[in-house]
Amino acid sequence: MRRQTCFIAVRLAGCRIGPGSRSGARPVVRGWVTTVATAAVISGVAGPAPADPVASDIVTVETGRLRGVTATDHRMFAGIPYAAPPVGELRWRPPAPAASWSGVRDAARAGPSCPQDTGVFGTLGANPTKSEDCLYLNVSTPRTPPADARPLPVLVWIHGGSLTTGSGDIYGPGPLIAQGDGDIVVVTLNYRLGALGFLAASALDDGSGPGNYGYLDQQAALRWVRRNIAAFGGDPEQVTLAGESAGAASVCTQLAAPSSRGLFRAAIRQSGLCTSGASVAKAKADGDAYAERLGCAGPETAACLRGLPVETLVDDAVITTVFGGEFLPTSPQAALRAGTLTAVPTFVGANNDEMALWVYLEYGVPLGKPLIAAEYRDALAAAMPDLTPEQIDEIEQAYPAAAYPQPALALSRAWTDRTLTALTVEYAALGPRNPTYTYSFDDPAPLAPPNIFPLGAYHASELPSLWSLRDLGWLYGAVMSPDQQRLATEMRRYWTRFAIDGRPSPAGLEPIPAYDPAAPLVMSLRPTGNRLTDSYAADHRADFWSDLLPR
């Protein structure tokens, strides 16, 4: 399958299919965590102009005055530069301060997304552009300030997308603000992607460590929030950092980065594991090889790379999280296991059928030929290329194709259970230091593309229950059943209540308790009624996977 095909059906982040697939495409993410995707119907095409603007407003930030717009359910200031354009000599350098402006800057529309490979389906992309002038964020507040003028909690959202695609303006915060469990301020942001955000060539190392420029952008946005959010009625001491898939992995990276401590006091991670990353030496070797392939080698490597056209660089060939430098002394995964992540309340979870989306991309209609039993073992090996043939044999025996209505469902279940077992290991590691609250999105029939097998609660399918996704947010209200609409409202209340007081416990809804490895409870979010379950690990065969893949 060509990578461009992924953009027909997924868009909040891109996708990759495992090696050995019928296309021979690149391996699936570095693990599951840095990929995010969802059906094309989730994404719109037009920009993020608010619906029915009825009034304007002006605020003053450190670099000048902004004129936003007031929509029917929230007030928005979009396209705010939080750092200088990373162009010319600033390409592959830590973000520099944004310049001031005179007069009043129009903040009615988002800035361009960061350069990304949109393939032949670029119009489905995240406001596709070739402009590296992309370090913008968007601030949304309640339509009117609270009567007592108290500063409001702030939720900062990091978009997903394999660290290669996406933008902050895809995620419309209107539903979170209007239907939440209390008033909050929402910030969405862009950060550098692909090679422009994560290349770690030796010639680009300024002494503080190579790569991680996209993560440094995220941190710069958090620092901007700390300095400026009070102008919008937000409380800089009550910031929750949240993200999905690659965004969730980014949240873990910020939890592991010593210099990000104090920039947020709570974290939300949706469908994303902490990454293992690569050492400085490994990342530099890969980056140097990449630079050489582009014709940049020798003493002028840095100048050569900075002189390349952006079209040459919008790919994902050298994306990795680099540890061993000043920003990230150890990998996020190692920090998690060592108990050195920043100790803040954490709300974390995933979807019940996470990997069904990738199975759909390879074997679903109309994108591919259905998986047949004779190809099932090869499909398992392609999905999990890090395992030995003997381990694949054990998985095939534990998840026999004949036990499922069709082989694609066996593949989806095995791949998903492996992923979610890894998440339960994180829950147990987080609990002793970070008060941890866990959920599982269990809608068996969310909005999905046409298919020959049920996708269930696939990767990213929870997002419409939280956000208005581009200009098609209205579509979900039209096609969601009453039960799904109720679930969406309840989820928005759980998420905003956590942002408000660090615990997902809205009045009138069953509170989600702190995770206890000795008596683990996970909140199953369902259209038929949410319920706490103590069988999450058993449901996903954690014992089998823990024995097969000992830590």
Identify the pLDDT of residue 480: 87
- Taking a C-beta distance cutoff of 8 angstroms, is the pair 432, 404 a contact? no
Q: Mean pLDDT throughout 281-297? A: 95
Torsion sign over Cα 410, 444, 188, 496: negative
- Return the structure tokens found at 107: 């903040």
Q: Mean pLDDT throughout 300-319? A: 88
In this structure, of 330-334, 480-484, 512-516, the range with the lowest mean pLDDT score is: 480-484
Q: What is the rounded distance in angstroms from the CA atom of residue 103 to the CA atom of residue 65?
A: 7
Q: Mean pLDDT throughout 482-504? A: 97
Q: Mean pLDDT throughout 178-207? A: 95
Distant-in-sequence, close-in-space partners of 69: CB < 8 Å, separation ≥ 6 = 50, 53, 55, 56, 57, 75, 76, 107, 108
Identify the pLDDT of residue 41: 32
pTM: 0.90
Identify the pLDDT of residue 23: 33
State whether CATH 3.40.50.1820 applies to domain 48-348: yes
pLDDT tens profile 176-190: 999 999 999 999 999
Q: What is the rounded distance in angstroms from the CA atom of residue 151 to the CA atom of residue 277?
A: 37
Identify the pLDDT of residue 81: 98
- Taking a C-beta distance cutoff of 8 angstroms, is the pair 361, 8 a contact? no
pLDDT tens profile 113-128: 999 976 533 434 455 6
Identify the pLDDT of residue 419: 97
Distant-in-sequence, close-in-space partners of 76: CB < 8 Å, separation ≥ 6 = 50, 68, 69, 70, 107, 108, 138, 139, 140, 141
For the chain, residues classed under CATH 3.40.50.1820 are: 48-348, 351-548
CATH of 351-548 given 3.40.1170.10, 1.25.40.10, 3.30.70.260, 3.40.50.1820 = 3.40.50.1820
Exposed (0-12), middle (13-18) or buried (19+): which is 435, by Cβ within 10 Å?
A: middle
Give CA separation, 113 vs 98, 118, 300, 454, in Å: 17, 11, 29, 33
Alpha-carbon 195 to chain mean position: 18
- Return the structure tokens found at 420: 């979610």
pLDDT band (50, 70, 90) for residue 293? very high
